[in-house]
Amino acid sequence: MSKFKSLGLNDTLLQAITDMGFEAPSEVQEKTIPILLEKDIDLVALAQTGTGKTAAFGFPMLQKIDVGSRTTQGLILSPTRELCLQITNELKLYGKHEKGLNVVAIYGGASIQDQARQIQKGAQIIVATPGRMKDMIGRRMIDISKIEYCVLDEADEMLNMGFYEDITEILSYSPDDKSTWLFSATMPREVRNIAKKFMHDPIEVTVGSANVGSSQVSHEYYLVNARDRYAALKRLADAQPDIFSVIFCRTKRDTQKVAEQLIEDGYNAAAIHGDLSQNQRDMVMNSFRKRQIQMLVATDVAARGIDVENITHVINYQLPDEIETYTHRSGRTGRAGKTGISMVIVSKSEVRKISSIEKKIQKKFEKKEIPSGDHICEMQLFHLANNIANTEINHEIDVHLPKLNDALESFSKEELIKKFFSVEFTRFNNYYKKSKDLNVEGGRSSYEEDQKDSTRYFINIGTKDDFDWMTLKDFLKDLLDLGKDGVYKVDVKDSFSFFNTDDTHEELVLSVFKDFQLEGRSVSVEVSKDKGRSGGGGGRRGGGRGRDDRGRGGDRGRRGERSSDRGGDRGRSENRRGDRDRGKSDSDFGGGSKDGFKKRRSGSGDDKPKFSGKRRGGGDKPESKGTGGKRRRRV
Ligand code: ADP
Ligand code: MG
């Protein structure tokens, strides 16, 4: 008897499971499916990302609903459009042998009328983002008064994004006696509260230990000057020629900028964030899945829960504001039994956050050095050698062989190798030969040390004045012109706030705020006796959904970061198409079967991405000498 059968799943589902090539249930599936099938109870399940939670609630829900009826019986709330679509697609696959099944995705940014029409056809299961769902219930387009099962998927993230009120309102339209199943990777207090409020004696299932990052992921941090962030990112990428990564930035604006810089510099990169249309986001995700994009630069909101195979690296270009978010970021790699690396590029002023993250994820970070130019050249050379060794010979070349032989006759094998490799090596070497060491001395400063060179201020404005920590930080940063990391530990209270600067700036700060007025009100700043705490992470009071959606963050101070690492060359258009065709044109994705779990099917989802290099134009050098002339290089 198949392991899935022993969980109590029916034949139509078992058939679909066989079709998908799932061989054995994952741990969370094994623990939840029998319980959910047997009883109508509430359940809280905590499991890391990539452990198969969708099927853990999807299989039981599909088995329990009545497909003969057109009534909406199941509701799944999830934080983002991408996730919503991903779950919908998975459920359709799981339920493909259920005749009459209609699963409908409801999410913002697409036609509400179209969605309403789909619902009218009779959707037994609705998968929705909270915002749009609330909207449609309000307009009486959706009736959830008869649902029997409600799933809160990625509950921690929904709450992080400020969906608490929307969820409360949505659930107020649902019957009291429904079963609620909450799935989450982490269990912060907010999630506990929601479980208390909306659930009746939920059974709790934990897979692995809650709040702990995947054991498959190793964590590294790199200490650099804030202005070298981008240069450091490039080096990390250049030292990993096969990198297939998600790069996280804090704001939409930074996301867009970093992606644009990478593209200009010749990498196969793209941005994904909330300012893109649904269509654009789908396109980006598709190219990423097909490995045509090697570096996906993303906001936390846009990348949430995205399940793409074999991501090798997660790079935290900037640390998230919330420690919880780090778990989600690093969970994009090391999925389904694979290993992955989560890298953090960190400046001195933020390095203390590393320890807090370690505590949370219960894993140690390794402090690593940004690779030197020499190291990168070496990595690239051996990567190339490897590629050459593994390349299948194209016999169409055979006809030209005699002439080629003639042309190269005078060279020994050794000389040929040298010449051949010089083609690639020279441009890396030229670019990196004068490169400086980007590493900053020192490790994590202790808390006390941290306080030593820093001044904490009290300021008499706060949430009452419509500031949250982020707007206040931006306001101060711009006003004081201290650069991106010049103002930190911003902690906003109701009618006052605190913030820190390096103590060298004390005089400046006090002089700027002497007789300072804001909209007719006098604003005063004093040095605080409380040298201490908090701010940064702890301070999100605004409760607004997705600070990512605000695209804020002053432009000042960012310039330095760019200039050091870019050539002036503008003629990029010829690179634009780049290697698009180099990636596998059709990596079998929608099939839903992923590596790592045992599965029968082969032929898709192969381990190694089939691209040869991340560069569109092939590289890094300002001019194209020596490589055929047609490709433009940039630094
Ligand atoms: P989570 O929600 O926990 O992050 P997902 O539900 O997105 O994880 O599952 C991750 C991937 O693993 C999906 O692509 C899914 O199709 C696949 N998967 C789920 N269960 C199994 C299984 N039992 N065997 C093989 N693959 C599975
Ligand atoms: Mg999931």
- Pocket (CB within 6 angstroms of ligand 1): 22, 25-26, 29, 47, 49-55, 307, 336, 592-594, 597, 599
Measure the CA–CA gap between 415 and 593, rounded to whole angstroms: 47
Share of the chain above pLDDT 70, in %: 79
Q: How confident is the model at residue 11 (pLDDT cuts 50, 70, 90)?
A: very high
Mean pLDDT of the chain: 78
Helix (H, G, I), strand (E, B) or coil at 532: coil
Ligand 1 centroid to residue 294 C-alpha, Å = 23
Q: How confident is the model at residue 467 (pLDDT cuts 50, 70, 90)?
A: confident
Give mean pLDDT, residues 496-518.
89
Give mean pLDDT, residues 469-489.
84
pLDDT on residue 622: 26
Measure the CA–CA gap between 404 and 401, rounded to whole angstroms: 5
Going by alpha carbons, the residue nearest to atom 24 of ligand 1 is 22
Task: Choose between 334 and 365: higher pLDDT.
Answer: 365
pLDDT on residue 452: 60
Q: How confident is the model at residue 441 (pLDDT cuts 50, 70, 90)?
A: confident
pLDDT tens track for 90-124? 999 999 999 999 999 999 989 999 999 999 999 99
Ligand 2 centroid to residue 471 C-alpha, Å = 32
pLDDT on residue 455: 87
Task: Choose between 463 and 82: higher pLDDT.
Answer: 82
Task: Choose between 118 and 448: higher pLDDT.
Answer: 118
CB–CB of 148/125 below 8 Å? no
CB–CB of 329/302 below 8 Å? no
Going by alpha carbons, the residue nearest to atom 16 of ligand 1 is 592
pLDDT on residue 558: 30
**Ranges 371-375, 395-399, 425-429: which has the least confidence:** 425-429
pLDDT on residue 322: 81
Amino acid (one-letter) located at 387: N
**Probe residue for ligand 1, chosen from 9, 285, 594 as the CB with the greatest number of ligand atoms within 8 Å:** 594
| Residue from 53, 320, 286 nearest 161 by CA | 320
Buried b (16+ CB within 10 A) or exposed e, 458-469: bbebbbebebbb
Crossing angle (nearest 10°) for helices 81-94 and 11-20? 110
**Ranges 490-494, 560-564, 595-599: which has the least confidence:** 560-564
Buried b (16+ CB within 10 A) or exposed e, 129-152: bbbbbbbbbeeebbebeebbbbbb
Ligand 2 centroid to residue 431 C-alpha, Å = 42
**Probe residue for ligand 1, chosen from 91, 289, 593, 602 as the CB with the greatest number of ligand atoms within 8 Å:** 593
Q: How confident is the model at residue 1 (pLDDT cuts 50, 70, 90)?
A: low
pLDDT on residue 69: 94
Give mean pLDDT, residues 561-578.
33
C-alpha distance from residue 58 to each of 87, 88, 150, 504, 542 (Å): 9, 10, 11, 57, 34
Atom of ligand 1 nearest to the CA of 28: 3
Ligand 1 centroid to residue 409 C-alpha, Å = 55
Q: Quick one: DSSP state of residue 217? A: E
C-alpha distance from residue 310 to each of 246, 271, 344, 383, 596 (Å): 11, 19, 19, 19, 10
pLDDT on residue 214: 53
pLDDT on residue 440: 83
In this structure, which residues have their CB less than 5 angstroms from ion ligand 2? Answer: 53
| Residue from 516, 502, 504 nearest 459 by CA | 516
**Ranges 23-32, 33-42, 461-470, 534-543: which has the least confidence:** 534-543
Measure the CA–CA gap between 170 and 198, rounded to whole angstroms: 12
Ligand 2 centroid to residue 86 C-alpha, Å = 9
Ligand 1 centroid to residue 106 C-alpha, Å = 22
Going by alpha carbons, the residue nearest to atom 19 of ligand 1 is 52
pLDDT on residue 520: 82
Find the farthest-apart pair of alpha carbons in the chain and give their distance in angstroms, rounded.
86
pLDDT tens track for 291-314? 999 999 999 888 876 778 788 899
Give mean pLDDT, residues 421-428.
78
Token pair for residue 384?
A: 């190339």
Going by alpha carbons, the residue nearest to atom 23 of ligand 1 is 25
The radius of gyration of the chain's CA atoms, rounded to the nearest angstrom, is 27
Ligand nearest to the CA of 598: 1
Give mean pLDDT, residues 130-141.
95
Atom of ligand 1 nearest to the CA of 90: 16
Ligand nearest to the CA of 4: 1
Ligand 1 centroid to residue 369 C-alpha, Å = 35
Burial, 442: exposed, middle or buried (Cβ in 10 Å; 0-12, 13-18, 19+)? exposed
Strand 454-459 vs strand 525-527: parallel, antiparallel, or unpaired?
A: antiparallel
Helix residue spans in 294-439 (DSSP H)? 300-303, 323-330, 352-361, 373-390, 401-408, 413-432
pLDDT on residue 337: 58
Token pair for residue 587?
A: 């990596």
φ, ψ dihedrals at 81, nearest 5°? -60, -45
Going by alpha carbons, the residue nearest to atom 2 of ligand 1 is 53
Atom of ligand 1 nearest to the CA of 58: 6
pLDDT tens track for 518-556? 888 889 898 876 554 433 333 322 333 333 333 333 333
Q: How many CB atoms lie within 10 A of CB 308?
A: 18
Share of the chain above pLDDT 90, in %: 38
Ligand 1 centroid to residue 602 C-alpha, Å = 16
Going by alpha carbons, the residue nearest to atom 9 of ligand 1 is 52
pLDDT tens track for 239-297? 888 899 999 999 999 999 999 999 998 899 999 998 888 888 888 998 999 899 999 99
pLDDT on residue 544: 32
CB–CB of 305/79 below 8 Å? yes
**Tally of residues, the chain:** 635
Task: Choose between 607 and 359: higher pLDDT.
Answer: 359
Amino acid (one-letter) located at 446: S
Ligand nearest to the CA of 158: 2
